[in-house]
Amino acid sequence: MVELSVMVTEAPSIDAAIFTGPGLEGAELCETDTTNCATTDAAGLASIMLPADQEVSYTVSKDGYGPYLLGDVTDEPLPTTNWPLISDALLEADAMKVIVPYPWSPDGTLSLAAFSLRAGVTYELLDETATPFYTDEQQETTVGLTATTSTGRGGFFEVTPGEHQIEFGGTATNCTARIAWPGDAANRIRVPVRAGHLSFGSMDCDEP
């Protein structure tokens, strides 16, 4: 078995300050579609045990906030990750800026990152057409960019539920899956998407 530990925080805004919020008590960490769950404590910490050497997925959620869906591989110890839950009010205001619906149902939203974070990365959703976005230098969401800024982040709105494959391009070279399932070729990952959830996938890439 492999331990999965998370720190859940309350995002104060959807910009460069997103990771600076306090720990969020009462959020639920669950292996997807199971009763293998734990609730965060006053510091926002929770952990569960997952089967080793498998592709797994898990959710991080709390009423009044947009839920996360993550896929990963338990072939090595999993580092503690910080997941900033974003309130429904903030997500609704952000969606209005880019003219996409919130709540996301019946589709999901897919967020992506290439580490180390850098400009010039492109993300291609290989198996369907969805609305692409990237974050600007203030980490605000925009649909007017064609590659990452120095924040290294982007993704897709209105993604059909299911498993999707994404290819990292541009300045992202020699990449391996970080939080995701491996894809079928170099620089590709597979990510699960669920209606109403924010899925996240990332890769570690060579320095540009």
Express each pLDDT in 167-189 by its tens digit: 999 999 999 999 999 999 999 99
Query: Chain-wide mean pLDDT for the chain?
Result: 94
What is the tens place of the pLDDT at every residue in 184-199? 999 999 999 999 999 9
Q: Are 134 and 148 in contact (CB under 8 A)?
A: yes
Can you give the length of the chain in residues? 208
**Residue-level pLDDT at 176:** 95
C-alpha to C-alpha distance for 48 and 39, rounded to whole angstroms: 10
C-alpha to C-alpha distance for 180 and 115, rounded to whole angstroms: 13
β-partners of residue 188 are: 167
Q: Which two tokens stand for residue 120?
A: 């010039």
Residue 104 has pLDDT above 90, yes or no: no
Give me the amino acid identity at 162.
Answer: G
Q: Are 9 and 84 in contact (CB under 8 A)?
A: yes
Give me the amino acid identity at 78.
Answer: L
C-alpha to C-alpha distance for 199 and 190, rounded to whole angstroms: 11
Looking up tokens 């992202």, which residue turns up? Answer: 172
Tell me which fold the domain 2-85 belongs to. Immunoglobulin-like (2.60.40)
Q: Provide the residue ranges of all domains of the chain, joining segments of one domain with +.
A: 2-85, 88-204
Per-residue confidence at 100, pLDDT binned at 50, 70, 90?
A: confident
Same topology between domain 2-85 and domain 88-204: yes
**Residue-level pLDDT at 14:** 87
What is the tens place of the pLDDT at every residue in 130-151? 999 999 998 888 888 999 999 9
Q: Tell me which CATH code domain 88-204 carries.
A: 2.60.40
Mean pLDDT, rounded, for 30-55: 97
Mean pLDDT, rounded, for 112-117: 94
Mean pLDDT, rounded, for 160-167: 97
Give me the amino acid identity at 74.
Answer: T
Question: CA-CA distances (angstroms) from residue 92 to 99, 141, 146?
Answer: 10, 13, 24
Residue 99 has pLDDT above 80, yes or no: no
Per-residue confidence at 17, pLDDT binned at 50, 70, 90?
A: confident
